[in-house]
Chains A and B, each alone.
Chain A
Amino acid sequence: MSGLDSLYQQLILEHSKARTGGDLAGLPALASGTAGTGESHQLNPVCGDEITLRLSVGVNADGQAVSEIHWHGDGCAISMASASILSEIAPGMPTGPFHHTIDHFRELMRSRGKLEADEELLQDAAALAGVAKYPARVKCAMLAWVAAEDALRQAESGVE
């Protein structure tokens, strides 16, 4: 089962169960127009996987950076692990490099396995590289990243 093991790496299975990152379910609803914070709900109609992700941007020594991520979701091991890893690597990352990381992750996922993962950029998310060989599962891996990109855009614009 080498193919399957490359998809479901131990790190992914662990993340799919641990689901690191703040739990959005316990937080009050986001007031519309909250500056510096965005929230996005994404649904995969094929399988019913869904995620709601809230992302805040703050200013640290490097300038504008992701300050925190909370999320709540329901879905397969790939989509949940992807959300968990994302919420672990993003906080503290300056917004410029975070945009770049999302772009690279998307390219990697769409490459059908032809692109090498930039491990420095993706960190643990590089473990999801195996998903690229399973086109039917790319949307699962992308779900949280699409939500994060949308939430980031809102947070940066300062309005909902």
Chain B
Amino acid sequence: MTTVSTPVWGDSRISALDDDEVRRIRTDFPVLDQEINGKPLVYLDSSATSQNPRSVLEAEQEFYEQRNAAVHRGAHHLAVEATDAFEDARATVARFVGVADDELIWTANATAGLNLLAYSFSNASAGNVGGGAERFALKPGDEVLVTEMEHHANLIPWQELCRRTGATLRFIPIDDAGALRLEEAAKLVSGRTKILAFTHTSNVLGNINPVDVLVRMAREVGALVVLDACQSVPHLPVDFKALDVDFAVFSGHKMLGPTGIGAVFGRSELLNAMPPFLTGGSMITKVTMEQAEYLPSPQRFEAGTQAISQAVALASAANYLSETGMERVALREAELGQRLVTGLTAIDGVRVLGPAAGEERTGLAAFDVAGVHAHDVGQYLDELGIAVRVGHHCAQPLHRRLGLTASTRASTYLYTTTDEVDVLLEAVAQIRPYFGVTATGGKA
């Protein structure tokens, strides 16, 4: 287990964002400057959706005020400007995750991205082959391997793909601390494994999975690797080429961008061999009444009018993050994650899910308060202006494995102050007394 003192992205010359810088950053985020129930808003739900800096909001508005037109069609001046803005946005976001422009497909969000992949594979399985598409086809006897910690978005599309194709879905189990049981993974990966899909960092546990180890296992058997990078791209420096994955997905609204935009990365030779999912306008070369031929990636997967202004705004968000420095954001959030796990663990009756204090963790902590339901925890915190996520966080199997139906999750971002973490910790310490739960001393 890597410790926080030597993070995987570590470069000793780079320092974490400090409190003064965070206070300056906060002035860029209008929504943070408000009171809830007479208390300053403490926004600790960025893993659900992040807030937007003014520059991102202005980028979207500027597009509508000055350049709005349909892209990749029409020859008038605005259409050219809009197309340039749209493709420049793609180049910016592609660069942000270390891939080539034509390897980045716009989607509505990470969920849509995973469904795009599952349905494209499904189309290959249904006989839409040729041009190398057969390598994506699944049949009875083939296996899709996921993990027990997946968000429903990286589980259900594969369940459905297996149901449609007759392939078998299997999963890599986790241990009680939430870590992947790699010795089990090594047994599960075999020549039958066609797809290995897993999350880079868990939205509940806050751990960082060993991508290199899993990619090596997949490569040995020729399986395709799909990475759910929804919680990593916003918070860590991520380079999909360096990680050597075949596909990856992420969402714009979790990385300071607007809702309605996200992306799929795919290696170019794979994308150009893969059957399309959504078909229609803007993704074709030649159409007759009987059939159509398709454009190469990325247009191949972008039928219909795209979320143009959102793409432009997402590029602005990527620039904001790049200018701040993703290494510095990651180091800052690692500090906040440790402050959370250390402080929460010290509270009687509170159990933090995932890595223990001192072990590598991103800036989030999901926890259980013994004797108090997560919804009541969230209600108590909301009264104090503290916004957290409560429930199963779209990871029911993971919660069940950890013996829970729901938990409370606090998650940070580059605008989170250490004071805010401390406000949360003080509040959580008052919850069991408020609900009259007598001290059991029992930390589950």
- Contact, CB under 8 Å: B390 / A134: no
The stretch of A60-68, A71-79, A84-92, A151-159 in contact with B is A71-79
Query: Please, which residue of chain A has its CB at the minimum distance from the CB of B400?
Result: A48
Decide yes or no whether B376 CB sits under 8 A from chain A. yes
CB-CB under 8 A for A4 and B406, given A13-B436, A47-B375, A77-B435: no
Given contacts A48-B406, A140-B375, 8 further A-B contacts (CB under 8 A): A3-B383, A8-B376, A47-B373, A76-B374, A76-B376, A77-B372, A77-B435, A137-B379
- Contact, CB under 8 Å: A48 / B37: no
Of residues 64 through 101 on chain B, the ones whose CB sits less than 8 Å from some CB of chain A are none
CB-CB under 8 A for A4 and B391, given A47-B374, A76-B373: no
CB distance from A76 to the nearest CB of B (A): 4
Q: Which residues of A contact B380 (CB under 8 A)?
A: 4
- 1/0 per residue, CB under 8 A from A, across B378-399: the answer is 0110010000001110001001
- Contact, CB under 8 Å: A77 / B391: no
The CA-CA distance from A21 to B391 in the complex, in Å, is 27
Q: Which residues of A contact B383 (CB under 8 A)?
A: 1, 3-4
Query: Please, which residue of chain B has its CB at the minimum distance from the CB of A2?
Result: B383
CB distance from A18 to the nearest CB of B (A): 11
CB-CB under 8 A for A47 and B37, given A4-B383, A76-B373, A78-B376: no
The CA-CA distance from A77 to B369 in the complex, in Å, is 13
Decide yes or no whether A129 CB sits under 8 A from chain B. no
Of the candidates A3, A17, A76, A137, the one whose C-beta lies within 8 Å of that of B436 is A17
Of the candidates B390, B405, B406, B435, the one whose C-beta lies within 8 Å of that of A13 is B435
- Contact, CB under 8 Å: A7 / B375: no
Give chain A's interface residues, CB within 8 Å of chain B.
1, 3-4, 7-8, 13, 17, 46-49, 74-78, 134, 137, 140
CB distance from B388 to the nearest CB of A (A): 13
Number of interface residues of B (CB under 8 A): 19
- Contact, CB under 8 Å: A7 / B436: no
- Contact, CB under 8 Å: A47 / B379: no
Of the candidates B37, B372, B376, the one whose C-beta lies within 8 Å of that of A3 is B37
Q: Which residues of A contact B434 (CB under 8 A)?
A: 8
Of the candidates B373, B396, B436, the one whose C-beta lies within 8 Å of that of A75 is B373
Of the candidates A4, A17, A46, A74, the one whose C-beta lies within 8 Å of that of B379 is A4
CB distance from B306 to the nearest CB of A (A): 31
CB-CB under 8 A for A8 and B435, given A47-B391, A48-B396: yes
Instruction: Pick the 3 closest A-B CB pairs, nearest first.
Output: A76-B373, A48-B405, A76-B375
- Contact, CB under 8 Å: B405 / A137: no
The CA-CA distance from A3 to B374 in the complex, in Å, is 19
Q: Of B37, B379, B399, which is in contact with the most chain A CB atoms at under 10 Å from its CB?
A: B379
The CA-CA distance from A13 to B373 in the complex, in Å, is 12
CB distance from A113 to the nearest CB of B (A): 15
CB distance from A96 to the nearest CB of B (A): 34
CB distance from B113 to the nearest CB of A (A): 24
The CA-CA distance from A7 to B406 in the complex, in Å, is 21
- Contact, CB under 8 Å: A47 / B436: no
- Contact, CB under 8 Å: A47 / B390: yes
Q: Of B372, B375, B383, which is in contact with the most chain A CB atoms at under 10 Å from its CB?
A: B375
Q: Which residues of B contact A75 (CB under 8 A)?
A: 373, 375
Query: Please, which residue of chain A has its CB at the minimum distance from the CB of B372?
Result: A77
Query: Please, which residue of chain B has its CB at the minimum distance from the CB of A75?
Result: B373
Q: Which residues of B contact A77 (CB under 8 A)?
A: 372-373, 376, 435
Q: Which residues of A contact B37 (CB under 8 A)?
A: 3
CB distance from B349 to the nearest CB of A (A): 15
- Contact, CB under 8 Å: B391 / A134: no
Q: Which residues of B contact A17 (CB under 8 A)?
A: 436
Q: Which residues of B contact A48 (CB under 8 A)?
A: 391-392, 396, 399, 405-406
- Contact, CB under 8 Å: B435 / A47: no
The CA-CA distance from A74 to B405 in the complex, in Å, is 9
Interchain Cβ contacts under 8 Å between A and B, 6 examples: A7-B379, A13-B436, A47-B405, A49-B373, A75-B373, A137-B375
